[in-house]
C-alpha cells in the first residue's frame, strides 16, 4: 500500500498573501495579467493621429521610397513651423506698442484748467527789512542797508521765518491785478489761491478740484483774461550775481490740472510786459501702458494719497518730493514750496514714472503789442501812471480753450496674446495641419507609453529571502530512503511501480514518475 508523508514548513511572513488576493496572484504568476491594456505602438498611433502626414510616414505598411519622402516632407514642414513660431515668439516678447490719437466728441461744458502765475521778482525791495536782507544775503546778493555794515558781535536778529518773509515781501496780487474776467464775468484776487514755488509767493486761479469752474464755449472771451502790473520799481537791484539772480521782467505762467502741483520753474512759460499774450489751450488725455509694454505708474486703488503731502500722484509732485528729501538729507531742513510731511532722505537716484492716466493742456501762444497810443494815454489817466510806466509794466494774459473738445492719446499693445495665438494657429495649420487637440493627442500618447514603462519597472519580480517560519509543503520521499528501508520501485505492493498513481506519470519522461519520490 503506498505511503504519503505530509510535512509542515513555516515560510516568511511577508510571503503570506491574503486569501482574497489568491486569484489575482495566481494570474500574475502565470503571466496572465489581462486587466491592464498594452499601450499602442507608434504605427498604430500614427495611423489614428490627426497630424497630417504622420500616418503616411510612420503608419503600418512596408518601408520604401514613398514612405521616406513622406517622412522628409513631414520633418521639413515641422522645421518650417518651428522657425516661424520662434520668430513670432520673439516679436511678442519685445512687447511692441503703438500710439493712437482719437479726437473726443465735443462736450457742452469743459472743466477749465488751473492757471498759476508768479512774478519773476520774488521780493519787493521796499518791503525788505535789514534783518530780511541779512537772512536773504545768499539769495539776493544785496548789501546791508546800514552803512556801517554788519558786525558779528552786534547781530541780534531773530531766527528767520521764510513763510512770513515771503508773505510780507512778495508781490501782492491785489496790487498787481488791474482787471479780471472769466467767461464774461468779473473776478478778483479772491478767486486766486496762494501757492509757494521757486519764485516765492505765487497765485493759482481755479485751484480747487472739488469746485472747478466750467468753460461753456471756446475762443477768446470765454476763458480767463487778466491785466497785471508787474511793478518793476519794486524789483531788487543787482549788486552782485548769485545763483538766484534774475535779469528778466515779467511773469511766469503754468497751465495744469487741479490734481497736479505747479512746477513752474521748469514747466512754466514767460509773459512779457508791453504785450497781450493769447494762450489757446486744448485738453489732452494721455493713457500709457504699464509693464511690460511701458513703464507708467499704475494706480494703487487705495484711498490714501500715494505721496505724502499731496492728494494725488503726479510727476511734478514726485519731483518736488525728491527735491525735498535730498535737501532734508543734506541740511535737515526744507524750502517753503516743498511738501510739509515727515520722512527721511532717500538713497540713490529718484525715479518719477509717468502716471498711466494723465491730463495735460497743449498750448499755442501768440502776442500783440500793447498799449497803442490811444490806450496808453487812457491807462495812464486811469491808473495815475505815465505812459512809459504803462508800457514797461502792464501786460494782458488771455487763456481760453480753442474748442470744447479734448484729444485722446492712448498707448495700445501692437501685438497681444490673441494675435500671437492666431498667428501660431495659422502657421501650425499651414505647415503641419495640427491644432490644439492634435498636441493633446501627442501628449496623451507620450503619457501612455511612459506610464506603461514605469509600471513595468515597478512590477519587476524580486527574489524573496525565505525563513523557516510556517506553511505546508509535501516532502519528497527520496530523502527518507537513506534513513528508512523501502521496497524497490519495481516491487510495490499491488502490482509494482508502474501501476502506482498512473495518472501522474509523464509518458515520455525518465524512469520514475513525479510522485515516485513521494511514495514507496
pLDDT in tens, 510-519: 444 444 444 4
Cα–Cα distance, 21 to 90 (Å, whole number): 58
pLDDT of amino acid 475: 47
Q: Where are the domains of the chain?
A: 40-96+424-455, 114-127+170-287+358-412, 298-352
Residue 231 confidence (pLDDT) above 60: yes
CA contacts within 13 A on the Cβ side of 287:
13
Residue 137 confidence (pLDDT) above 70: yes
pLDDT in tens, 319-376: 888 888 888 888 877 777 777 654 544 445 678 888 888 888 999 999 999 999 888 9
Query: Hey, what's the cell of 264?
Result: 513752474
Range in 305-319, 425-439, 462-476, 492-506 the model is least confident about? 492-506
pLDDT of amino acid 466: 54
Contact of 306 with 313, CB cutoff 8 Å? yes
Under 8 Å CB-to-CB from 434, ≥6 apart: which residues? 50, 51, 52, 428
pLDDT in tens, 239-280: 777 777 778 999 999 999 998 999 999 999 999 999 999 999
Cα–Cα distance, 439 to 417 (Å, whole number): 19
Q: What is the pTM of this model?
A: 0.65
pLDDT in tens, 470-501: 444 444 545 545 555 444 444 444 444 444 44
Q: Which residue in the block uniquely carries the three cell numbers 462736450?
A: 107
Contact of 395 with 274, CB cutoff 8 Å? yes
Residue 317 confidence (pLDDT) above 70: yes
Helix, strand, coil proportions of the chain in percent (round to 5)?
Answer: 35, 20, 45
pLDDT of amino acid 350: 78
3-state secondary structure 85-146: HHHHHHHHHCCCEEEEEEECCCCCCEECCEEEEEECCCCCHHHCCHHHHHHCHHHHCCCCCC
pLDDT in tens, 11-56: 444 444 444 444 444 444 444 444 455 667 777 887 778 888 887 7
Mean pLDDT within 54-61: 78
pLDDT in tens, 153-201: 455 677 788 889 999 999 999 999 999 999 989 999 999 999 999 999 9
Kindly report the CATH number that applies to the domain delimited by 298-352.
Answer: 1.10.287.820
Mean pLDDT within 456-479: 59
Residue 285 confidence (pLDDT) above 70: yes
pLDDT of amino acid 197: 92
For the domain made up of 114-127+170-287+358-412, give the CATH fold. Acid-sensing ion channels like fold (2.60.470)
Contact of 180 with 230, CB cutoff 8 Å? no
pLDDT of amino acid 373: 86
Preceding peptide of 472 cis, ω within 30°: no
Query: Hey, what's the cell of 346?
Result: 532717500
Amino acid at each position: 500500500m503506498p505511503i504519503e508523508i505530509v510535512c509542515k514548513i513555516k515560510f516568511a511572513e511577508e510571503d503570506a498573501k491574503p486569501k482574497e488576493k489568491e486569484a489575482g496572484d495566481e494570474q500574475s504568476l502565470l503571466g496572465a495579467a489581462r486587466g491592464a491594456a498594452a499601450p499602442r505602438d507608434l504605427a498604430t498611433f500614427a495611423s489614428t493621429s490627426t497630424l497630417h502626414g504622420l500616418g503616411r510616414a510612420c503608419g503600418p505598411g512596408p518601408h520604401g521610397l514613398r514612405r521616406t519622402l513622406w517622412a522628409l516632407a513631414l520633418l521639413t514642414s515641422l522645421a518650417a513651423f518651428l522657425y516661424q513660431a520662434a520668430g513670432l515668439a520673439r516679436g511678442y516678447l519685445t512687447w511692441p506698442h503703438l500710439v493712437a490719437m482719437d479726437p473726443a466728441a465735443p462736450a457742452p461744458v469743459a472743466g477749465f484748467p488751473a492757471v498759476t502765475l508768479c512774478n519773476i521778482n520774488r521780493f519787493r525791495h521796499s518791503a525788505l527789512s535789514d534783518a530780511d536782507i541779512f537772512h536773504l544775503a545768499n539769495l539776493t546778493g544785496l548789501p546791508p542797508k546800514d552803512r556801517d555794515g554788519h558786525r558779528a558781535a552786534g547781530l541780534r536778529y531773530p531766527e528767520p521765518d521764510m513763510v512770513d518773509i515771503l508773505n510780507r515781501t512778495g508781490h501782492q496780487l491785489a496790487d498787481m491785478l488791474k482787471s479780471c474776467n472769466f467767461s464774461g464775468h468779473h473776478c478778483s484776487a479772491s478767486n486766486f489761491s496762494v501757492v509757494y514755488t521757486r519764485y516765492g509767493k505765487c497765485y493759482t486761479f481755479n485751484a480747487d478740484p472739488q469746485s472747478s469752474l466750467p468753460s461753456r464755449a471756446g475762443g477768446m472771451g470765454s476763458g480767463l483774461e487778466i491785466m497785471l502790473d508787474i511793478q518793476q520799481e519794486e524789483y531788487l537791484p543787482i549788486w552782485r550775481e548769485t545763483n538766484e539772480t534774475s535779469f528778466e521782467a515779467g511773469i511766469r505762467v503754468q497751465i495744469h490740472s487741479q490734481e497736479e502741483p505747479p512746477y513752474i520753474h521748469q514747466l512754466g512759460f514767460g509773459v512779457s510786459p508791453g504785450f497781450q499774450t493769447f494762450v489757446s489751450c486744448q485738453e489732452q488725455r494721455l493713457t500709457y501702458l504699464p509693464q511690460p509694454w511701458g513703464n507708467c505708474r499704475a494706480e494703487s486703488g487705495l484711498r490714501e494719497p500715494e505721496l505724502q503731502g499731496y492728494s494725488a500722484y503726479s510727476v511734478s509732485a514726485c519731483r518736488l518730493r525728491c527735491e525735498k528729501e535730498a535737501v532734508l538729507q543734506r541740511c535737515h531742513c526744507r524750502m517753503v514750496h516743498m511738501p510739509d510731511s515727515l520722512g527721511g532722505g532717500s538713497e540713490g537716484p529718484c525715479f518719477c514714472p509717468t502716471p498711466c492716466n494723465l491730463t495735460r493742456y497743449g498750448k499755442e501762444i501768440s502776442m500783440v503789442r500793447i498799449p497803442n497810443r490811444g490806450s496808453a494815454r487812457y491807462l495812464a489817466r486811469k491808473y495815475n501812471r505815465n505812459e512809459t510806466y504803462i508800457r514797461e509794466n502792464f501786460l494782458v494774459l488771455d487763456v481760453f480753450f480753442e474748442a470744447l473738445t479734448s484729444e485722446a492719446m492712448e498707448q495700445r499693445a501692437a501685438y497681444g496674446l490673441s494675435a500671437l495665438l492666431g498667428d501660431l494657429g495659422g502657421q501650425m495649420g499651414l505647415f503641419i495641419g495640427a491644432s490644439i487637440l492634435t498636441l493633446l493627442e501627442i501628449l496623451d500618447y507620450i503619457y501612455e507609453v511612459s506610464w506603461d514603462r514605469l509600471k513595468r519597472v515597478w512590477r519587476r519580480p524580486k527574489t524573496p529571502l525565505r525563513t523557516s517560519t510556517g506553511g505546508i509543503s509535501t516532502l519528497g520521499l527520496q530523502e527518507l530512503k537513506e534513513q528508512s528501508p523501502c521496497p524497490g520501485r519495481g516491487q510495490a505492493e499491488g502490482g509494482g511501480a508502474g501501476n502506482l498513481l498512473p495518472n501522474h506519470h509523464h509518458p515520455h519522461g525518465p524512469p520514475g514518475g513525479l510522485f515516485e519520490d513521494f511514495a514507496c
